[in-house]
A and B are shown apart, each in its own frame.
Chain A
Amino acid sequence: MSTKRIVLVTLAALIVLIGVVVYFNFDPSNPTLSKFFPKCPFYSLLGLKCPGCGTQRAIHAMLNGDLAGAAHYNALLLVALPLIGLYLLADVLKKRWPGLNNALNHPVSIGILLVTVVAWLVLRNIFGW
């Protein structure tokens, strides 16, 4: 690992750690606390939920072991988090498992991802998910 990579990984780990501590202890859906949490600009401007809306509340619920609550706030996050982990793992191990990395980065895989996110954007605004 190069020095640059070590610095980046350490920085990322630190940000994730701070995020975990903050979102574990503070509930963004708590009315008195909610003003300290950033709001979605997309929702503020258009009144429509974006694919990432509810992520903060979902992370808080997830960190406190409430998976059903997390799915209620943002179901896509429950799918996206393991997927992000898988992509990062495949990137790190692409020398050892080139097949996994190629499959994940195949145009068909990316296309499925894209359709899923856009479908989620449309459906959650129709059904209020």
Chain B
Amino acid sequence: MRQYWINFKGKQEGPMSIEQMAQMGIDESAYVWHSGLPDWVKITSVPELKDMLAGLPSADVPQATEAEYDAQQAPVEIEENVPDEVPSLDVVDNSPAPGAPYIQQPYAAAEPVVAPGEPAPECPPTNLVWAIIATILCCSIPGIVGIVFAFLTKKYYREGDLAKARRMSDYGAWAVIASIILGLISMPLSCAVQMASMGSSFGM
């Protein structure tokens, strides 16, 4: 299901589903972003959200209980470094809109800042299988390092630190690549050395 980020009355929330958004008590003045959009857009310019807004009773917005919110709220990722290209949200009208009641979200304390253009916060690849294959078939030591980074990727992702998880995922990929390169260099090299010296068998 598509996940949305919303900016309403200067407050940014997300990721959330349409159903969760419908319970926030938003109106046409909200701006939204989802993965694939280059920038924030007016909520009315996204067809499925416009339909969602049209289906909402304008005065009496269904208000979810705190328990329901807790159950529905997807894990919130907090981006550590906000890139420079975060679009300006000055355009958002912060004046209270009449008609739509503003609901105090019980989870408003954790306010994520997700830069548009970033993919939806799924866990970055752990490269775990490749690290295992590298450990047992290629060059063990970088392979083990790859498993360590796979562990750290998952650990930081579960802690909600997506930026660190992505970095660990990249390091893990590099560890696997290093293992393969070392293996590719050492394999023909070791064969050449042996054939030259007719040495006895050792190692693998």
Interface residues of A in 80-104 (CB under 8 A from B): 80, 83-84, 87-88, 91
The smallest beta-carbon distance between A89 and chain B, in angstroms, is: 10
Q: Are B140 and A50 within 8 A (Cβ)?
A: yes
Residues of chain A within 8 A (CB-CB) of B195 are: 35-36
Q: Are A84 and B198 within 8 A (Cβ)?
A: no
Interface residues of B in 127-150 (CB under 8 A from A): 128-129, 132-133, 135-141, 143-144, 147-148, 150
Please classify the interface of chain B as helix (H, G, I), strand (E, B), loop, or mixed, using the class held by over half of its residues: helix
Q: Are B182 and A41 within 8 A (Cβ)?
A: yes
Q: Which of B143, B154, B187 contacts A105 (CB 8 A)?
A: B154
* Most chain A CB within a 10 A radius of its CB, from B136, B141, B183, B186: B136
Q: Are B186 and A38 within 8 A (Cβ)?
A: yes
Task: Give Cα distance in the complex from A88 to B128, angstroms.
Answer: 10
How many interface residues does chain A have, given as a range?
Answer: 35 or more
How many interface residues does chain B have, given as a range?
Answer: 35 or more
Residues of chain A within 8 A (CB-CB) of B182 are: 41
Q: Are B129 and A118 within 8 A (Cβ)?
A: no
Interface residues of A in 48-96 (CB under 8 A from B): 50-57, 74, 76-77, 80, 83-84, 87-88, 91
Residues of chain A within 8 A (CB-CB) of B129 are: 84, 87-88, 91
Q: Are B136 and A77 within 8 A (Cβ)?
A: yes
The smallest beta-carbon distance between B125 and chain A, in angstroms, is: 10
4 closest A-B pairs by beta carbon, nearest first, are A38-B187, A43-B203, A50-B140, A34-B201
- B residues sitting closer than 8 Å to A (CB atoms) are 123, 126, 128-129, 132-133, 135-141, 143-144, 147-148, 150-151, 154-155, 158, 182-183, 186-188, 190-191, 194-195, 198-204
- A residues sitting closer than 8 Å to B (CB atoms) are 28-29, 31, 34-44, 50-57, 74, 76-77, 80, 83-84, 87-88, 91, 105-107, 110-111, 113-114, 117-118, 121
| 27 pairs from A and B in contact (CB 8 Å cutoff) | A31-B200, A35-B191, A35-B194, A35-B195, A35-B198, A36-B195, A37-B191, A39-B190, A39-B203, A39-B204, A40-B204, A42-B141, A42-B203, A51-B135, A51-B140, A52-B137, A52-B138, A52-B143, A77-B136, A84-B129, A84-B132, A87-B128, A105-B123, A107-B154, A107-B155, A113-B128, A121-B144
